[in-house]
């Protein structure tokens, strides 16, 4: 199956362990040397309409992805691996009060 990043962005990510919808695929991370996809990235949810920034992003390792279907990506994870992005957007209040 060939899938573009744009096709992945429209897919919902569901954890098969507990049936929780984690959100939509927003980005991928890959190794530039081996050209291998490492993980899917789901951006953190906005806090109070984005005024107070976002929650931490969710990183889904490629090994934990079970099925990429037409509408959904099924993953099998015990706990959510969060990570802090270096390129995070500042919240509205952080931009005002530098």
Q: What percent of the chain has pLDDT over 90?
A: 16
The domains of the chain are located at 5-96
| pLDDT tens-digit map of 19-42 | 888 888 888 888 889 988 888 888
Residue 73 pLDDT class (50, 70, 90 cuts): very high
Domain 5-96 belongs in CATH node 2.30.30.240 = yes
Burial (CB count within 10 angstroms: exposed 0-12, middle 13-18, buried 19+), residue 40: buried
Q: What pLDDT, on a 0 to 100 scale, did the predictor assign at position 3?
A: 73
- Is this model's pTM higher than 0.75 or not? no
**Sheet harboring 57-61: ordered strands across?**
27-31, 36-42, 57-61, 82-83
- Candidates 93, 91, 90, 54; CA nearest to 41 is 54
Task: Please check whether residue 83 is in contact with residue 59, taking contact to mean a CB–CB distance below 8 angstroms.
Answer: yes
Q: What's the average model confidence in pLDDT over 48-54?
A: 61
């Amino acid at each position: 199956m060939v899938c573009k990043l744009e096709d992945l962005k429209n897919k919902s990510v569901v954890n098969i362990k507990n049936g929780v919808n984690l959100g939509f695929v927003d980005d991928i991370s890959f190794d530039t040397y081996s050209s291998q996809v490492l993980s899917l990235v789901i951006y953190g949810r906005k806090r109070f309409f984005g005024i107070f920034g976002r929650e931490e992003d969710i990183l889904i390792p490629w090994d934990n992805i079970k099925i990429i279907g037409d509408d959904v990506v099924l993953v099998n994870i015990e706990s959510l691996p969060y990570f802090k992005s270096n390129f995070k957007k500042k919240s509205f209040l952080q931009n005002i009060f530098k």
